[in-house]
Structure 1
Amino acid sequence: MTSTPRVPRPSRTPVSATIGAALGRGFAAVQRLRHPRPIHSRGVVLRGEIRWIPDATPAGLSWIDDAPTEARPVVARVSRSIGLPAPLPDILGLALRVDDADIEFASTGWLVPGRFALLPRRRVERATFGILLPYRGTRGPVLLGARTLWGRPPATDPRALQGPDMSPDVWRLGLFHATPGGPWHPFGLLELRLAPDQDDRALRFDAVRRPLPGARTYAWVRSIRQPSYLRVQSAAPLAAQPKADAEAGVGVGVGVPLDAETSSR
């Protein structure tokens, strides 16, 4: 009888704690100049839906493996990290909320080692997106990725929404999963459109506090991410979050007190 090999379980380390503390201090310093969001300060709100691909390659996350047959509503925000004006390159962000779960993508490479690096891009539709830090699934670490299949968002800055060069109504993306060093496997299709209400003051994303069903977070990932989340946000913006989620048609809250840590996006 052969035993099942055990998947390594990375834990919180002095290195991850040091990185997290340094990021937290850096975000706090930038926030003094750019309040309340030190990065991704302006973004365009989108709404749409996600459909799962039947019989997709298992990922080890129930959110992917136990895919519903019906589409689910999505609220999204696309933004530029530093806020450089288009067409200058910037690190692009795409945050999604599906039910009570958040996914936070940034423009990265697609192959190894580029999928672990933030890469500035000029145009959203030509960027590939990743999450950088893996989820902890039943099969081991899991990365998520997204890339455009058709169309593009109307803008990444709400101040440009009234311009004459508007994109098609629908931005369609493919969603993928992979192990840190493995190939990408498609599992979903995402369609997004411009949201009628662009007030994003109450819209905060946090993939650690609102994880995907079946996904756990490695301690070293929390150690790197959460100090910056704790430092750069106050509790006040989240007070309107349940109302904003209800109006968008997605899940409202995960039982986290409003004075708990919040997100930088």
Structure 2
Amino acid sequence: MWASTVGSLLGGVFGTVARIRHDKPLHPRGTVYNAVLRRVGAPEPWEAEWLDTPGEDHGLVRLSRSVGLPRPLPDVLGLALTIGGSSGDRHDVLFATTGLRPGARFALLPRRDPFTVPYGSLLPYRTPRGLVLLAAVPTTRGRFRLLAAAPAGRWREFATLDLTARPGPDEAIRFDPVLHPPPGLSWPPALARLREPAYAAARRV
């Protein structure tokens, strides 16, 4: 009940901000890149296809500033990934600048340079083996290691993510990690009820 109530309140706030801005309530401007994700498989299985199975995914990544504060001011940065599945379906994963240590994985941290700071999923997915957080950690400019860990567990690499420049301006891509989770991952019902109203409000703009 509490998740539905809070989610409805957040949806109302996001909808109001979107109507005032005539744009997305958060991450209004960004840069879109072509993305190739190469999965090597998690060293300790999660019983989740996307984490455990080697493969290659192609899609887009959008890097953006959450509130849209002007540079060089720090802002919470976002890395939004969308990929296409083998059956033509779509999968979205959203990351934001967080800490990697157990006490900081649920904290949003303002940062400046999107290519030198770690990102986390902030909220955990559900798998048959338990809850899992995801992270994207840069290795070189344009390449990230993708990691998975239990909420207080050790990070382990399951994929790499390579970005290449995409010609043209920012694109109006709508991401929804609640409706389009990766194969084998799902949201705990309370978290889905908390998050989805905000994304629904953004989609209506």
TM over 0.5: yes
SS across alignment from 2:105: helix
8 Å contact 1:40–1:80 — kept in the other structure?
A: yes
- The number of aligned residues is 200
Structure 1 residue 32: deviation in Å? 2.2
Matches within 5 A, 1:227-246: 227-234=197-204
Structure 1 residue 55: deviation in Å? 6.1
Match among 169, 174, 187 for residue 145 of structure 2: 174
Q: TM-score, normalised by structure 2?
A: 0.91
SS across alignment from 2:115: helix
8 Å contact 2:42–2:51 — kept in the other structure?
A: no
Is 1:217 equivalent to 2:187 in the alignment?
Answer: yes
> Structure 1 residues 135 and 144 mapped into 2: Cα distance closer, same or farther (>3 Å)?
same
Structure 1 residue 59: deviation in Å? 2.7
Name structure 2 gaps, 5 residues minimum: 85-89
SS across alignment from 1:146: strand
Is 1:60 equivalent to 2:81 in the alignment?
Answer: no
Distance 1:41 1:184 in 2: 31
Is 1:94 equivalent to 2:65 in the alignment?
Answer: no
Q: Tell me the equivalent position of 2:2.
A: 15
> Structure 1 residues 193 and 116 mapped into 2: Cα distance closer, same or farther (>3 Å)?
same
Structure 1 residue 199: deviation in Å? 4.7
SS across alignment from 1:83: coil
Q: Tell me the equivalent position of 1:187.
A: 158
Q: Tell me the equivalent position of 1:107.
A: 97
Matches within 5 A, 1:133-144: 133-144=123-134
Q: Tell me the equivalent position of 1:28.
A: 15
Q: Tell me the equivalent position of 2:87.
A: none
Structure 1 residue 91: deviation in Å? 0.5
The Cα RMSD (Å) is 1.5
Deviations 1:4-46 (A, max 9, x none): xxxxxxxxxx332232122112112211221220110001010
Q: TM-score, normalised by structure 1?
A: 0.72
Name structure 1 gaps, 5 residues minimum: 1-13, 152-170, 236-265
